[in-house]
Amino acid sequence: MSSISITPYFPFCRVHIYGQSVKGEESTIEVRPDKRYKPICSICKSRCVSIHAWVHRPIRDLNCCAVKVVIDCKYRKVFCTNCGCIHVEDMAFFEPYMRITNRLARYIYELCKVLTVQDVAKHLDLDWKTVKDIDKTFLEEEYGQTNYEELSILAVDEISIKRGHSYMTVVMDYLTGRVVWMGEHRKTDTLMRFFEGMTDEQREKLEAIAMDMWDPYIKAVKMNVPHVKIVFDLFHMVKEFSKVIDRVRIDEYQKASEADKRVIQGSKYLLLKNPGNIEKDEEKKHLNHLLALNETISKVMILKDKLKLIWECAVREEAQTQIDEWCALATSVHHPSVDVFVRRIRRYEYGILNHCEYPIHTSMLEGVNNKIKVIKRKAYGFHDNRYFSLKVIQAFSIIPI
| Domain boundaries of the chain, sorted by first residue | 1-98, 153-233+360-395, 234-356
Q: Which of 103, 102, 73 is nearest to 88 (CA)?
A: 73
pLDDT of 381 > 60? The answer is no
254: Cβ–Cβ under 8 A, 6 or more apart, which residues?
none
Q: Which residue has the higher pLDDT, 367 or 17?
A: 17
- 342 or 252, which is more confident? 342
Q: What is the pLDDT of residues 59-87, one digit of tens each?
A: 899 988 888 999 888 888 889 888 888 88
Contact call for residues 43 and 80 (beta carbons, < 8 A) = yes
User: Within 10 Å of residue 87's Cβ, how many Cβ atoms?
Assistant: 20
What is the CATH code for 153-233+360-395? 3.30.420.10
User: For the chain, how many residues are written?
Assistant: 401
Q: What would the mean pLDDT of 23-42 be, rounded to a whole number? A: 85
Whether 17 contacts 6, CB under 8 Å: yes
pLDDT digits (tens, 9 = 90+) for 105-132: 999 999 999 888 989 999 999 999 999 9
Q: What is the DSSP string of 72-109?
A: EEEEEEEEETTTTEEEEB--SSS-TT-SB-HHHHHHHH
Q: Would you say the C-alpha torsion 331, 334, 335, 339 has a positive or negative sign? A: positive
Q: Indicate if the pLDDT at residue 276 is higher than 70.
A: no
Residue 397: Cβ-neighbour burial (10 angstroms; 0-12, 13-18, 19+)? middle
Integer CA distances (angstroms), 387 to 20, 116, 132, 136, 268, in order: 38, 13, 8, 6, 41
When pLDDT is averaged across residues 364-391 and rounded to a whole number, the result is 77
**DSSP H helices in 294-362:** 295-310, 316-331, 336-347, 349-353
pLDDT of residue 400 exceeding 50, the answer is no
**How high does pLDDT run on average in the chain?**
86
